[in-house]
């Protein structure tokens, strides 16, 4: 028996090492990755529980005609809060700010629960807007901190595993809330979020204590204080097309969200409505998890950027048509909302990240912050204004006649974006504006085409970078190109050396 103990112990260690290797987690990274996984899991649970509670409470206490003004309120509220939020977040260490934010938000959930308990009617629209703004900021805070703790190569290895906790959280939360909300009541979900937020603050404190000390703090602070001029950014046709795509995306998504909730309200109310939303979000999480791990990257690598960005509008368009044909069937409404929620954060988001490749790291961060913090919520607000004028005369089903033209604009914009993306990618290579150490290219047909063109550049930096990336992403293409370099002995030699 004494001889079996070390054998069993070694077997357990080997199994653990095998799991870590499969997940691409190095032994020294396990604690950090585990804490970040838990952080995003809790943020996802809070996000999903908050949305479930606020949707059910608002739709059970206010007429559906009020819903468009909630979208407008979210857009206006986000635009008003973001400057103050940006001013505050730059004055505190990242982990401390996030922990304090979570505790303050926990207190607001307790206050909201008390006001709901005492049936103070104005709390329902206030809660609707507050939950949307603050929950989105929770996710933004997480990814900002996660980026501070990883270099680009670590992020490439680990963010897929860490990011999966968001989808797992949605599934677990949806199934749990759907099972218990009938027993505890919808208002109790607000207290549950208050407790989860205290737990989240404790996790953030552990991350700060273990991984944000000494020189790492200085690194985080210096990264925040660095700025880059980008006045010409907003005059770029490429950036303007991205903005047009985002506006069309989220106006259409807002209209679809209204249609889904209006049709759901016709069939469910009270705790049944909360349970319906919870189960729907669990379905979203399960589908998103499957696409995240098994579909998104393969589709993008095989069919390219345009196909990846077309999936969401194509499915939303088909669902909108189905809604018209079925005269508002619940299944068609669920399909419409699934087309948004399940694909927005998987293949659509993965493809959207490819559009940022041509920008330098700091300019990329600035652009994403503006698009996420201003353009996106203002697009929701624009969708709300459209609903305010058209929802009542057209009805939930008739709004598909408005949604479909926006989806059409969205698709046309994507066709132009693909061409501009290739031009921007090649121009950035030629101008040395891409950081070779920080780039994480995906072997889509567009990227391979741009890299092949770049290998014919007279600029040696561009040639070396492009050929190195081709060697990693498309070795067969690199082999074929090496033959084309015969008239240029120096480049031929360099190419063969890299291939070897």
Q: What is the pLDDT of residues 111-150, one digit of tens each?
A: 999 999 999 999 999 999 999 999 988 988 888 788 778 7
User: How does residue 350 score in pLDDT terms, banded at 50, 70 and 90?
Assistant: low
Distance CA 120, CA 83 (A): 30
Candidates 321, 285, 312, 290; CA nearest to 397 is: 321
pLDDT greater than 80 at residue 492 = no
Instruction: Give the Cα separation of 478 and 464 in Å (integer).
Output: 12
| Nearest alpha carbon to residue 174 among 261, 279, 267, 295 | 279
DSSP code of residue 355 = T
Q: What is the torsion angle, in degrees rounded to the nearest 10, for the CA atoms of residue 378, residue 379, residue 381 and residue 382?
A: 120
Give, rounded to a whole angstrom, the gap between the first and last alpha carbons of the chain: 52
pLDDT at residue 436 is higher than 50: no
Q: Are 162 and 43 a contacting pair, CB within 8 Å?
A: no
Portion of the chain with pLDDT greater than 90, in percent: 36
Mean pLDDT along residues 307-312: 85
The whole-model pTM stands at 0.75
Which residues, 6 or more positions from 194, have their beta carbon under 8 angstroms from its beta carbon? 106, 107, 109, 110, 113
Q: For 82-110, what is each residue's pLDDT tens digit?
A: 778 877 877 788 889 999 999 999 999 99
**Torsion region of 395: left, alpha or beta (phi above 0 gives left; psi -120 to 50 gives alpha):** left
Q: How far is CA 191 from CA 91, 108, 128, in A?
A: 30, 10, 16
Please state, as a whole number, how many other Cβ atoms lie within 10 Å of the Cβ of residue 465.
20
Examine the pLDDT at 52 and tell me if it is beyond 70.
yes
For the chain, the farthest-separated pair of C-alpha atoms sits apart, in whole angstroms, at: 83
* Residue 264: per-residue pLDDT: 92
Q: Choose the most confident range, by mean pLDDT, from 17-31, 34-48, 155-169, 201-215.
A: 34-48
- Distance between CA 76 and CA 380 in Å, rounded? 9
| Phi, psi dihedral angles at 134 (to 5 degrees) | -70, -35
**pLDDT average, residue stretch 406-417:** 92
Handedness of CA 389, 394, 398, 401 (dihedral sign): negative
Q: Which is nearest to 139 in space by CA: 163, 161, 115, 121?
A: 163
The three-state secondary structure class of 210 is helix
Residue 414: exposed, middle, or buried by beta-carbon count in 10 A (0-12, 13-18, 19+)? buried
Closest CA to 146 of 240, 71, 245, 38: 38
Q: Percentages helix, strand, coil for the chain, rounded to the nearest 5? A: 85, 0, 15
Residue 277 has pLDDT above 60, yes or no: yes
pLDDT greater than 70 at residue 223? no
For 467, counting Cβ atoms within 10 Å of its Cβ (0-12 exposed, 13-18 middle, 19+ buried), the class is buried
Local structure of residue 318 (DSSP, 8 states): H
CA torsion sign, 325 to 328 to 331 to 332?
positive
């Amino acid at each position: 028996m004494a001889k079996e103990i070390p054998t069993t112990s070694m077997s357990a260690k080997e199994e653990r090492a095998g799991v870590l290797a499969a997940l691409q987690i190095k032994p020294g990274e396990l604690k950090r990755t585990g804490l970040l996984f838990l952080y995003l899991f809790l943020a996802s649970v809070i996000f999903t529980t908050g949305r479930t509670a606020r949707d059910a409470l608002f739709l059970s206490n206010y007429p559906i005609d009020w819903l468009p003004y909630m979208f407008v309120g979210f857009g206006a509220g986000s635009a008003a809060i973001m400057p103050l939020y940006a001013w505050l977040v730059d004055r505190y260490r990242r982990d401390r700010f996030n922990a304090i934010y979570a505790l303050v938000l926990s207190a607001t959930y307790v206050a909201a629960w008390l006001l709901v308990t005492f049936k103070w009617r104005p709390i329902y629209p206030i809660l609707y807007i507050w939950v949307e703004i603050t929950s989105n900021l929770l996710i933004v805070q997480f990814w900002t901190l996660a980026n501070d703790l990883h270099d680009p190569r670590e992020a490439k290895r680990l963010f897929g595993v860490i990011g999966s906790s968001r989808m797992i959280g949605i599934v677990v939360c949806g199934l749990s809330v759907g099972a218990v909300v009938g027993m505890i009541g919808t208002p109790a979900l607000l207290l549950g979020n208050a407790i989860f937020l205290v737990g989240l603050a404790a996790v953030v404190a552990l991350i700060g204590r273990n991984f944000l000390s000494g020189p790492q703090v200085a690194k985080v602070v210096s990264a925040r204080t660095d700025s880059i001029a980008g006045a010409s950014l907003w005059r770029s046709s490429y950036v303007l097309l991205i903005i047009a795509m985002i506006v069309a995306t989220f106006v259409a998504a807002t209209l679809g969200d209204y249609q889904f909730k209006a049709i759901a309200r016709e069939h469910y109310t009270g705790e049944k409505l909360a349970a319906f939303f919870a189960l729907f979000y669990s379905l979203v999480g399960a589908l998103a998890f499957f696409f995240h791990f098994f579909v998104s990257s393969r589709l993008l690598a095989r069919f390219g950027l345009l196909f990846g960005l077309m999936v969401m509008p194509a499915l939303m368009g088909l669902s909108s048509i189905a809604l018209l044909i079925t005269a508002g069937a619940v299944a068609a409404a669920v399909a419409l909302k699934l087309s948004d929620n399940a694909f927005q954060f998987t293949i659509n988001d993965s493809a959207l990240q490819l559009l940022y490749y041509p920008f330098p790291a700091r300019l990329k961060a600035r652009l994403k912050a503006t698009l996420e913090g201003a353009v996106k919520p203002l697009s929701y607000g624009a969708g709300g204004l459209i609903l305010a004028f058209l929802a009542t005369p057209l009805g939930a089903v008739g709004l598909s006649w408005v949604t479909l033209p926006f989806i059409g604009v969205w698709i046309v914009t994507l066709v132009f974006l693909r061409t501009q993306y290739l031009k921007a990618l090649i121009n950035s290579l030629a101008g040395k504006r891409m950081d070779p150490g920080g780039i994480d290219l995906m072997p889509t047909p567009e990227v391979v085409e741009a890299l092949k063109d770049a290998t014919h550049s007279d600029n040696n930096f561009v040639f070396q970078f492009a050929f190195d990336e081709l060697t990693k992403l498309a070795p067969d293409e690199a082999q074929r190109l090496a033959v084309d370099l015969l008239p240029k002995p120096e480049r031929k030699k360099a190419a063969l050396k890299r291939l070897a």
